[in-house]
Each structure stands twice: as structure tokens, then as C-alpha cells.
Amino acid sequence: MNQPISTPISALARSSRRDLTDACIDAAQKSASVFTRLYPDAARAAAAHADAMLAADVALPPLAGLPVSVKDLFDIAGEPTLAGSTVLKNAAAAQSDAPVVQRLRAAGAAILGKTNMTEFAFSGVGLNPHYGTPANPADRRIARIPGGSSSGAAVSVASGFCVAGLGSDTGGSIRIPAALCGLVGFKPTARRVPTAGAIPLSSTLDTICAMTRSVADCILIDGIIAGAGLSIPSLPLAGLRLAVPRTLMLDGLDDHVAASFSAALSRLSAGGAKIIDVPLTLLDEVVSLNKFSGAEAYAWHRMLLAEHEAEYDSRVGKRIKLGAALSAADYIDLHTARRNWIARMEAGIAPFDALIMPTVPVVAPPIAELEASEEAFFKANSLLLRNPSAINFLDGCAVSLPCHAEGTLPVGLMVAGPAMSDGRILAIAHAIESSLR
């Protein structure tokens, strides 16, 4: 099947929104496990309104009539928010859209549907026993994981159903599926985008963001959901000081990821970027900080678990319950330790324009392998979360963009920086994207 959408947003400027949306709805209705709910009537109405504006030569809002998907983590007025679970099926309906959804609608988006996800966003793999696991469209022979937790969001964009997939990123939940599905995913500084109206995983680390087909599209969507566009400087690749951390981030790379990343570094160097290997041993301390999600998720879920634990994905429920072991004093100490680590990290990376590294160390594993073995599942989950989660602990921002050769399995290259360096990191990502393409 041809993808309804296979180009960035800018290439769709004069396209019939109704024709495009009809094609996307038709394809989405035939897909398996990508959406938990579709909104065909509302999407067609938004598309028809945009076409009327086009016909009248009226200036269009930035997403006028273009299909966008929303992760099933966000409130849509009039229905319960399920978060990829069945536990909340009898919860009260949301009274209003989440603020980020309101902003997408105000920008003219045709909200196509709610996308499937890892239950309660607690895994980087993307498996879901309740609604099925959407297969990664990058491989038509072997059903591979899409990555998570924003699994359906990634597949909705990679399959051409949507121009953007709204999701969240607590430890890599946008960047992991972007890397595995060959997309661009941007994790902004967390404080820039409101988290209201989204079921929380970690109130400390949760970040609202999106996946698209290009860095330019990520910049557009980020400006909409953040409520204000960033100032993006024009930065040439030549002369950029790009640091490659040698601690932790390059451990355990599979052959394809290693070769793809090495080839990307060679192209960036040939384009004039200064590639600098740095020890950055502070990254070894990330393991000791990796306790926020469990503790904060347990605080939110403890009453639900007491009554409905049997309804949870056992892999999710098991990890949430581990959060009960962290005392209040330990939790306070954890925040103090994180603030101290952030200050030392920011000083350590200050001489460089950005950090670059593989987004994840492996290509997407087959779904069947991880469904068959809990040991394989948790090993893959740990590997997938390792690199991107370090940027969440840093309170930083990062872009994952494709760096693999055409026709091979997707590999992501991550460009990252400290808090509130979003404009610079996106500008660097844009320069890198241009070089790699």
C-alpha cells in the first residue's frame, strides 16, 4: 500500500485536505493495533474547513486540515483517557481536551485518532497485551517492535497516516520509536510544554513532544504545543564542536548501529564539523539516579494496583511496584543528587555545541522474541532506554534523526544539550539532517 503521506508538511501546502484525510482514514482503518480510537467525522470536518479556506484564498493556520495523531495518554473531551490500559475503562470522561490538544486544534489539525502505547507509558519497547503491538513499518518481512512508549504515534507517522504524532518522553518515549521507525523526534526542555491533561508517569521527568518526518516539522509542532515558537539560529555545520561521549553511550552497539553511526560521523567531519571524543565519566552516575519513574508512578497507581493489579500488563505492574521501596527521605535525597549532577554535567559539556550519540544501541528486535521471553524483554527495554534517559535526567533537550543508509533498518543519531538550549539544538539538528541527506 502506498503511504498517504510521504513528505514533510511544507510539501503539502496546496494539497486537498479532504482527499488527503480520506486516504489517511482509509489506511488507518485497515491498520492493526496502531489506534485505540479513530475520529473520522471530526477529522473530515477539519479537512473540509481547511479546503474551504484554501478555495477562498484565506491564510491557513499552520496545520490546517492536516492529520495528526494523539497518544492515548492525553485527555480528549467526552471520553475516559485509557493510557493503553483496560484499568481505566470505567473512569470518568475528560471534561476538556488537554492543553496541547487544544493548541493542535487551534492550529487547524485534523485529529485523526488516539494512538496505542505501552501501558501507562512504562517501557521503551512498545508491547501492549491489551490492544496488540503495532508492527514497525520499516520491515515488511519480520514484525519488529516500534519502540515505546509512543508506539502507535510512531507507526501512525511512519506509515503515512499523519504528519505528526503527539506523544510523551519520560526516558526516551519519543526518541526511541523515532529512531527505530526512521523518524525525527524532538524532546524539548520539559518545562516548556504543559503536561496538564496527560496521565503522568514521572512528574519530574515527563515531557510532551512529537514525532514527524523532518526537523523543520518538529520545530513547527513544538512551537504549537509550547504556545510560542523558538528562535532558531542559522548554524552552518562547519566549525560546530560536537562531543561524542565515550562513557556508556557507545557500549553494546550492534554492528549495523555502529557502522551507521560511524559513517554519519565521517560525513559530518567531511562537512567541517569538529567531532571530539570526550570521556564524560559523569554518565556513570545515571544508574543511581534512575529511580524517579518507579517512585512517582507508584504514588499515582498504588490505589489502582491494590484493586486491579491482575488487569495490568504484568511487566508494567511489576516495575511500578518497585517504586514502593523508596522512602520519602531517599526521594528527597534523589532530587538533591540530581540537581548536583545536572550542575556538574552542564559544566562538563559547556565547551561543546552539542552532544551526539546513537539514540539507541540496537535496531528494532522482533516482536515475537520479546513476547516469548521476559528476560529478553527487560534486557531490550534497558538497552533502549539507556542513552535517551540520560538527557531526561539532565533536564535537557534532544533530537533523534535518521542516520542509516536507505534500504536498511533505521538507526537514530541523537543531538542533545542542556536545559533551555532547544533552539540551538534544533538548529544543529537541522544542519546535521541536511548533511546526512
Which residues participate in catalysis according to the annotation? Answer: 71, 149, 173
Write phi, then psi, for 407 (nearest 5 degrees).
90, 0
Q: Which of 248, 207, 249 is nearest to 395 (CA)?
A: 207
Q: What is the DSSP string of 390-416?
A: HHHHTT-EEEEEE-SPTTS---EEEEE
**Nearest-angstrom CA–CA distance, 120 and 312:** 9
Q: In sequence order, what are the residues at sequence separation of 6 or more whose Cβ sits closer than 8 angstroms to the Cβ of residue 200?
A: 206, 296, 297, 300
CB 159 within 8 A of CB 27: yes
Q: Which of 167, 220, 156 is nearest to 11 (CA)?
A: 220
- Interior angle at CA 29, CA 24 and CA 32, nearest 5: 115
CB 118 within 8 A of CB 317: no
> Which grid cell is 295?
517512585
Write phi, then psi, for 386 (nearest 5 degrees).
-55, -55
- List, in sequence order, every beta strand (DSSP E) within 130-183: 164-168
> Which grid cell is 62?
499552520
CB 102 within 8 A of CB 60: no
**Nearest-angstrom CA–CA distance, 250 and 283:** 12
According to DSSP, residue 113 is labeled E
**Nearest-angstrom CA–CA distance, 14 and 374:** 49
**Nearest-angstrom CA–CA distance, 100 and 396:** 20
According to DSSP, residue 144 is labeled B
**Nearest-angstrom CA–CA distance, 185 and 398:** 8
Say how many residues make up the chain.
437
